[in-house]
Structure 1
Amino acid sequence: MDVIKLGMIGLGTVGSGVLAMIQEHADKIYAVTGRRLVLKTVMVRNLAKHQDVAEVVHLTTDLDDILSDPEIQIVVEVMGGIHPAKEVITQLLQAHKHVVTANKDLIATEGADLIRLARANGCDLMYEASVAGGIPILRTIADSFAADQITEVKGIVNGTTNYILTQMAQQGWTYAAALKQAQQLGFAESDPTNDVQGKDAAYKMMILSQFSFGTQVNLEDFETTGIDAVAAQDVRQATAFGYVLKLVGVARLVDQGIFVEVAPALVSVHHPLAGVNNENNAVMVRGQAVGDTLFYGPGAGALPTANSVLSDITTVVKNMILKTNGNSFNRYSQALPLATPAQVKDRYYLALTLPDQPGEMQKLTTVMAQINASFSQIVQQAGENGQARVMIITHTMSKEQLHELQQRLTALGTITLHCAYRVIE
């Protein structure tokens, strides 16, 4: 038969985009796959809320309407969250339904179990839309870099934080003012915690790390620092130094180990990531053979994310035609240790306050000498209440040296280190 019927769990922003794209691009999908897609049944929480599409699809609140329907072969999960999404997808795979999801939280934390379950049931589990919205980064890494050794993947993978930092840099707004504007424009949720504290970006870096290096890292394995404590004066000073402050996720090979981190970073104005503004995302992949490649586009939104979902659906359809379902989306797997703090080396931007009196700067330079670290650039400004603010860009130093610096300054008691942001040239 040339018709493949779909089910869907959830009909929010992304789900509505999927429905619209299936209807609008039916002919092209048929031309590419030789099959017509029909969204038959959608499970929602509130039937009354979605009556505008009741004549187009069958709406239900009962998962069994999808599980027990032999006509439905592929199910799209766009309900979000970890629970009950995991339990729902588990039932779908056990019922031998192929699953396409945009759920980064679930894939990052529970993906390994679901991937094993999908393989055991001969089903496809696809999740291209879980990272960077409309950017086809996961399939690109899995396919186009299959013969290359990726050494680093880094990027701006959260549109909410990127919009906020863009406004702070370009408009001179405070963090609070930029967040409020982001919420008014729909770029930030009413509760933006996962975004502004870096957790959303961390989930995406977990998935990117697994695809790039074949190693599963857990959230507790790496440091995650958000932007909710970023000061407007540090954004301004970054500009004065010739950088742009961005929330950057990075995963890289270090001496046969893996280093992952999500944190604000100073990105040189000459670096491609510096020009990624507002709600847009970008991922840079470095391969030994190809060098640096940049993938740029909208990181969220109904249609960009729905486009990635449809891409996964067409892949599942092609697998059905070729009878090759049940293979993992990404089959690359190897065990790598976590890099040690002594192995991870970067330049850093440091912002400190200290008493504006003789001898305090000498204390700072003495501590830097004791840990065998040095300054590249340094600016001192008069502060309030007899305190001076000092902004520094260091030469290359290790994470171990940075931790030792923090401990020594805490022991001194008079010098406060407010932030330490990686510098990306």
Structure 2
Amino acid sequence: MHDIKAIRDNPTAFDAGLKRRGLEALSPSLLAIDEKRRAAILASEQAQARRNAASKEIGEAKKAKDEARAATLMAEVAELKTTMPELELAAKTADEQLIKELSSIPNLPLDEVPDGTDEHGNVQHHVYGKKRDYGFAPKLHDDLGTALGDMDFEAAAKLSGARFVVLKKGLARLERAIGQFMLDLHTGEHGYTEINPPLLVRDAVMFGTGQLPKFEDDQFWAIKGELLSAPNADLRGERLGLIPTAEVSLTNLARESILDEKELPMRLTALTPCFRAEAGAAGRDTRGMIRQHQFTKVELVSITTPEASKDELERMLSCAEQVLQKLDLHYRVMTLCAGDMGFSAQKTYDIEVWMPGQGDGGAYREISSCSVCGDFQARRMDARYRGPDGKPRFVHTLNGSGTAVGRALIAVMETYQQKDGSIAVPDVLQPYMGGLKVIEHGM
């Protein structure tokens, strides 16, 4: 969330950042609300101060046996007691209005982020590897998986509806292997601490990372029932959100805290199911596993100081890239333009893996997104650290996919497919597959 003081100090820069995001100037309306809020707070504080002073003066008047003045002052205090709740309510209402407006405004792009309104404005940063020559027409992952008998969309539809899948046998094991490989890499070589976080979180936690209030309809929600909440009557009927990414749980571990600078950077990782009610534009990527309501992902989160956050973004990108490099997958890294970044991001790199079976001649598909958010999420969570001077400062937060397990699975399937429809298992995954080198029908 944005600092209203910073907007007040430099409204022109704030509006310029919004313009790069494709939004109109908002500083005039925000500052008008802020002025109303500050006036209401001042009026409330002045009334409280006058009440305290008048109460003291009553005692002095009585001591001086000035009953007329004491009566006048008591009448004034009585009137203040009547008007003060109204003044306090006005101040609270204005404050809530300002928070509501600020909480729906996205983060501003860093200066080095390229301009652009959508994905067409993204800029290629670098490329790793090259496209493979198969000598046959590569197939889509869902065609491969269905032929193997290991990928069943019809069974999933009977259970849950569209955009779900049932994986079986070799492909189920391969997906598990990919996730375990990623966790071992990030914890063993990259210094991340593994976390097993809750999958259901409170509204305040969703607010902290920016899912609420703007993206409420994109989430799945669970409501506690009477029987489930019977031992905890105060929680009866409470709404909890299914996490769309482990970023939500991991980042909020720092909420309402003041960390010691020696604890930073805090690097966390988790392998979790993720749930998204909004799975992309209507009619887009409806085939296969590209866009699912439920998917598995290894998430990377860093909590660091403002001075280190830009370097931490480059480090996080490198950690995510190493997953694909060890799998020997061809990919490119894109710097997202200002108009294509996520709500909480200041700068974002997307890693797009090459999937040879996608369309005519293959296509690049996003498999990881690494973002630095500055203090945007920290302000929403009240996450701070105490530096050498002893003063609390807001931390900077970063998040990235390290990587999306489902998309890594289909990238491996399409990249390592063989002419007979079998899937060769990448060398780095074979130890996680009991030494299995090829996934074939019926295995």
Structure 1 and Structure 2 fold alike (TM over 0.5): no
Point out the structure with the larger helix share. Answer: 2
TM-score tier by shorter-chain length is under 0.3
* TM-score calculated relative to the size of structure 2: 0.26
* TM-score calculated relative to the size of structure 1: 0.26
